[in-house]
Homo-oligomer: A and B are copies of this chain.
Amino acid sequence: MIRTAPSCLARAQDLLRPELRRWIDRLSPEVRRVVAYHFGFTDAYGRATADDGGKALRPLLVFLSAEAAGGSARRAVPGAVAVELVHNFSLLHDDVMDHDEQRRHRPTAWTVFGVAPTIAAGDALANLAHEVLLAEPTPERIEADAALTTATARMIAGQCDDLAFQSRPEVSIDDCLRMMSDKTGALFSCAASLGAIQVGGREDQGQALRRFGLHLGLAFQAADDILGIWGEPDVTGKPAANDLRERKKTLPVVAALASKTPVGWTLRQLLSNGHLNVQAVTRAAHLVDEAGGREWTLKEAERHARLARQALELTPVNEDARRQLIEVAEFVTARDF
């Protein structure tokens, strides 16, 4: 999905992976086979693969936030594992809910194992996140668990709104941004401050990092929404124009509909039809672009990446960590559109 990943991503993966695998190995066999496949550790037949288990962007935020608050990334490993588990619980369930058949260039778990084991596997990961944090119930870890629980609640509410928007004719840009703040922003915001919580960072640092994470999440989601319509399948690992086929009211679509241009009206009529065939999807992607939805969303992604950077300007944090966090913010908006 990403061409030039910051070098710190590799370090995050190295810190994360042994602990993540250790916890996943503790799951019961029937749950584990779905989870191991989903993470890419095994193929559909349960055979080990050379896959790395995803890019670990959220764990990276956890590690950098620990360092930003003057602590060590190593102390933030439980939080990083927990965030990655919550993120992957949401991927497992979202793929069922959205009928997505491809992720990371592979068939999604539910297409391989069925809906029921995939629901249970997602449930198990959501629960495992708490087990990881509560394994040593220090005050910092309990605070981290409470923050993760709050973020998870918002993530679920956002996913529910996202689903509801599909059949709602009028969705405003504000509705859409609020949904994105919940669905994506909350977990990013949590990840970007969870390391600081675990190393006992100052409250002003936590606040700045949460703000950074929220805007980063919005920038990420806006960029993702562009890829969800115009991304190349061999880059995104998902089918072309997937979001349009699922009638998702993503930011480019909502912005195009809100444009009040004749093209916007044509788009509205097209989307009001029951089923969208391949030609209709291609035409819709074209209309969203023509009505300015793509351009507006790209600008919105850049705006939030800028707000993310600004969030770190006034609060004293470790300079090296700040530089890397800003590199991450540049990277999420510089994805291959």
Interface residues of A (CB under 8 A from B): 27-28, 30-31, 89, 93, 96-98, 115-117, 119-124, 126-128, 130-131, 134, 137, 142-143, 145-146, 149-150, 152-153, 156-157, 159-161, 163-164, 182
Contact = CB atoms under 8 A, between A and B. Distances in A.
Contact of A115 (B96, B126, B130): B96
- Between A128, A130, A152, A160, the greatest number of chain B beta carbons within 10 A of the residue's beta carbon is seen for A160
Contacts of A30: 157, 160-161, 163-164
Given A124-B156, A130-B145, 6 more contacts: A31-B160, A98-B116, A117-B163, A120-B159, A128-B153, A131-B149
A127 B125 CA distance: 12
Contacts of A143: 137
A143 B134 CA distance: 9
- Between A150, A159, A161, the greatest number of chain B beta carbons within 10 A of the residue's beta carbon is seen for A159
A137 B130 CA distance: 14
Nearest to A93: B119
Contacts of A117: 160, 163-164
Contacts of A131: 149-150, 153
A124 B153 contact: yes
A130 B146 CA distance: 8
Nearest to A147: B134
A190 to B, nearest CB: 13
- Give the oligomeric copy count: 2
Nearest to A132: B149
A69 B78 CA distance: 34
Given A134-B142, A134-B145, A127 B115 contact: no
A141 B186 CA distance: 25
Contacts of A150: 131
Given A31-B156, A153-B127, A157-B27, A146 B134 contact: yes
